[in-house]
């Protein structure tokens, strides 16, 4: 049976709050962290190629897509810890927070991604982007 948190992320659905158990959180979060780390490596490899296509789609869209599952799941954990503050959930949050922050920091501090963003900003395509994208 698929973890209900993993399923809600895959289906872009709201979490089934009434069905969630404390042991659902850690496996879903670990899967999302592993996928983010793998996807981040792939993006960095693509963007590090001297002939890489640097565009909104190849940089920003891809980052948004890979960030979404972990962001959504961690949002559920923090929300539930505020509204249903039970010891088991506090334990999961305390144990996984350093891991979540580590993978988010790796993404946020990527030199390859930073250079791709600078290249995008310096490209002629920059003026074709909407103000929100800029």
The tens-digit pLDDT sequence of the chain (134 residues) is: 789 999 999 999 999 998 898 899 999 999 999 999 999 999 999 999 999 999 999 999 999 999 999 999 999 999 998 998 889 999 999 999 999 999 999 999 999 999 999 999 999 999 999 999 99
Does residue 62 lie in a domain region? yes
> The domain that contains 96 carries what CATH number?
1.20.1050
Whole-number pLDDT of residue 22:
87
Express the helix, strand and coil content of the chain in percent, nearest 5 each: 80, 0, 20
Q: Both tokens of residue 113?
A: 């991604």
Whole-number pLDDT of residue 84:
85
Does residue 134 lie in a domain region? no
Sign, CA torsion 54/58/61/67: negative
Structural domain total, the chain? 1
**Strand locations in 4-133 (E):** none
Q: What is the pTM of this model?
A: 0.89
Tell me which residue range forms the domain holding 59.
4-13+21-128
Whole-number pLDDT of residue 24:
94
Sign, CA torsion 43/122/101/23: negative
| DSSP 8-state assignment for residue 51 | T
Whole-number pLDDT of residue 115:
97
Does residue 133 lie in a domain region? no
């Amino acid at each position: 049976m698929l973890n209900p948190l993993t399923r809600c992320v895959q289906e872009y659905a709201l979490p089934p709050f009434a069905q969630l158990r404390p042991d659902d959180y850690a496996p879903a979060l670990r899967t999302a962290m592993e996928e983010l780390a793998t996807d981040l490596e792939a993006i960095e490899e693509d963007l590090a190629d001297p002939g890489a296509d640097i565009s909104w789609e190849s940089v920003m869209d891809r980052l948004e897509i890979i960030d979404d599952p972990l962001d959504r799941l961690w949002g559920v954990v923090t929300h539930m810890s505020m509204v249903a503050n039970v010891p088991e959930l506090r334990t999961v949050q305390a144990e996984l927070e350093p891991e979540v922050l580590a993978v988010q920091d790796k993404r946020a501090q990527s030199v390859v991604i930073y250079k791709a963003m600078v290249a995008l900003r310096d490209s002629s395509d920059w003026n074709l982007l909407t103000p929100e994208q800029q």
